Amino acid sequence: MLRLSFGGGSFRDPGALHANVMVQLDSVERRSGVVAKYDTCPERLAALVEALRRKDGEPVAVLVDEYDKPILNVLDAPDTARANRDFLRGVFGVVKDADADIRFSFFTGVSKFSNVSLFSGLNNLIDTQRPPARTP
């Protein structure tokens, strides 16, 4: 399993999101004994997913918690929000490209997928949000 969480990060400073993802990938690599030797997040994530698949012999589960926080927390700084969105688009694009090595992916957040435009490359997305309760 590969888990990324953006719940505890601060993403206002340039490069903070990149550093956050690299630290999380470091942690996954350390725990799994896998080393992906790339300096960019998308390539490193792709190599890690492939290595985990080979190591365990099973497709990898990818869990991403609060995928939209790096954008939502900086809406008052449009340039940073845009940069964070573009960065995440590149990272999450790996999930589509690595579908042969991924059993399933699960993303949590408060934004609708279609409103964030991060997932245009992903297929078969299912929004599991419950519809609002009806009042009598």
Taking only the tens place, the pLDDT of each residue in 80-105 is 999 999 999 999 999 989 999 999 99
Name 92's Cβ contacts closer than 8 Å, sequence gap at least 6: 64, 67, 107, 118, 119, 121, 122
Per-residue pLDDT at 110? 83
Q: Which of 4-18, 39-53, 94-108, 122-136 has the lowest mean pLDDT?
A: 122-136
One-letter amino acid for residue 29 of the chain: E
Q: Which residue has the higher pLDDT, 133 or 89?
A: 89
> What are the pLDDT digits (tens) for 17-74?
999 999 999 999 999 999 888 989 999 999 999 999 999 999 999 999 999 999 999 9
Q: Which bin fits 64, alpha (ψ -120 to 50), beta or left (φ > 0)?
A: beta
Q: What is the pTM of this model?
A: 0.82
